[in-house]
Structure 1
Amino acid sequence: MTITIARARRDDAFACAALRLRSDLEEGHLNRAGFVTEYADDFLSAFDEVPTWIATRSDGTVVGIVQCALVHRMPTLARGAKPWLYVAFVFVVPDERGAGLGERMLRTVDAWADARGVERMLLNTRPKARPLYERLGLGAPEERHMHRDAPFAATKEQR
């Protein structure tokens, strides 16, 4: 069956929510009442800031998603304004894994980002997904990159 990759539309909100739910359940998280509606509402409210691509079979079944956040970096004296792309969520349904769909979706996102002058693509990954990202040229960040998980208030209280 043919699979098409395209930018998600607003009316794909519930399909995207269903894929997020499947991914979370697969990771062992517990479902909660109202999650799909909560996700769909948030998807719609952040639609313009969260570029999303979905992979759809010819029968209309959505089988994959890549969701990103475009980060605008202000210009400095050393460089002009250059956006970054944070890849926030990649998921392919189990029966489509291993056939190259994840790679196809990410290459689609990469082409989109390149056309917009994106200077850097960032993501977090699980060990089992590293080979996919490495095939696409992603690698460990420079040593100067750091991150911190919330809550941030704890640090303020320690000062």
Structure 2
Amino acid sequence: MRISEATGDDVAGLARLLWLNSSDEQLEQQAIDAFTADFGKWWAAREDMHVAYVARLDQPEIVGMAWVALVPRVPRPGATSRMSADIQSVFVMPDARGRGIGSALVKAASEHAMGAGALHVTVHSGRKAVPVYERLGFESSRQLLQRHRP
């Protein structure tokens, strides 16, 4: 398994994983091509605040991804460059699961966030993945609240 920071050359592979993680199996090729183009533009405009990590096995194809969104925080006296981070869109292809790929991706994304100066890293997880995040050192917090759209 190889974990690396994604580059512009990975746009199509990342778009494919995002597509597979959010759509049914009967996808139209034209629709995924359009999404790939839109996604490439979106990421190019946000590269400084959205970093992706990818996993590969023996082949060049990407089998997993994890994103970290870096969010500048309001400065405080003595701390003018505060940052927080959020892990997003973690996905591993079903046939590659159970090998620690997701955990390795989340670790790489979290380490990147801390290296960029994030004070904390959050994740909004599905129920099944909560134990995985807890094993990686994430904890529930009563101070982190959410407000949902009405």
Same fold (TM > 0.5): yes
**Structure-to-structure mapping, 1:22-101, within 5 angstroms:** 22-25=20-23, 33=31, 34-77=34-77, 79=79, 81-101=81-101
**Equivalent in the alignment of 1:125:** 125
How many residue pairs match? The answer is 146
Instruction: Tell me whether 1:102 sits opposite 2:102 in the alignment.
Output: yes
Which structure has the bigger radius of gyration? 1
Q: Given that residues 11 and 36 in structure 2 are in contact (C-alpha distance below 8 angstroms), is that contact kept between their aligned partners in structure 1?
A: no
**Secondary structure of 2:117's aligned partner:** coil
**Equivalent in the alignment of 1:113:** 113
Q: Given that residues 13 and 44 in structure 1 are in contact (C-alpha distance below 8 angstroms), is that contact kept between their aligned partners in structure 2?
A: no
Instruction: Tell me whether 1:8 sits opposite 2:6 in the alignment.
Output: yes
**Secondary structure of 1:64's aligned partner:** strand
Q: Which has the higher contact order (CA 8 A, sep 6+)?
A: 2
**Equivalent in the alignment of 1:149:** 148
Q: Please give the alpha-carbon distance, in whole angstroms, between the structure 1 residues aligned to 2:103 and 2:132.
A: 7
Specify the code of the residue in structure 2 equivalent to 1:25.
Answer: S
Q: Please give the alpha-carbon distance, in whole angstroms, between the structure 2 residues aligned to 1:59 and 1:125.
A: 29
Q: Please give the alpha-carbon distance, in whole angstroms, between the structure 2 residues aligned to 1:146 and 1:107.
A: 24
Q: What residue ranges of structure 2 are gaps of 5+ in the alignment?
A: none
Cα deviation 1:12-55 (Å, max 9, x = unaligned): 111110000011026x9x87933232223212222222111111
Q: Given that residues 16 and 65 in structure 1 are in contact (C-alpha distance below 8 angstroms), is that contact kept between their aligned partners in structure 2?
A: yes
Cα deviation 1:118-153 (Å, max 9, x = unaligned): 2100111100111110101112122x33222347xx
Q: What residue ranges of structure 1 are gaps of 5+ in the alignment?
A: 152-159
Q: Given that residues 15 and 39 in structure 2 are in contact (C-alpha distance below 8 angstroms), is that contact kept between their aligned partners in structure 1?
A: yes
Q: Please give the alpha-carbon distance, in whole angstroms, between the structure 2 residues aligned to 1:119 and 1:65.
A: 23
Q: TM-score, normalised by structure 1?
A: 0.80
**Secondary structure of 1:6's aligned partner:** strand
Identity over the aligned pairs, expressed in percent?
27
Q: Given that residues 114 and 120 in structure 2 are in contact (C-alpha distance below 8 angstroms), is that contact kept between their aligned partners in structure 1?
A: no
**Secondary structure of 2:64's aligned partner:** strand
Specify the code of the residue in structure 1 equivalent to 2:2.
Answer: T
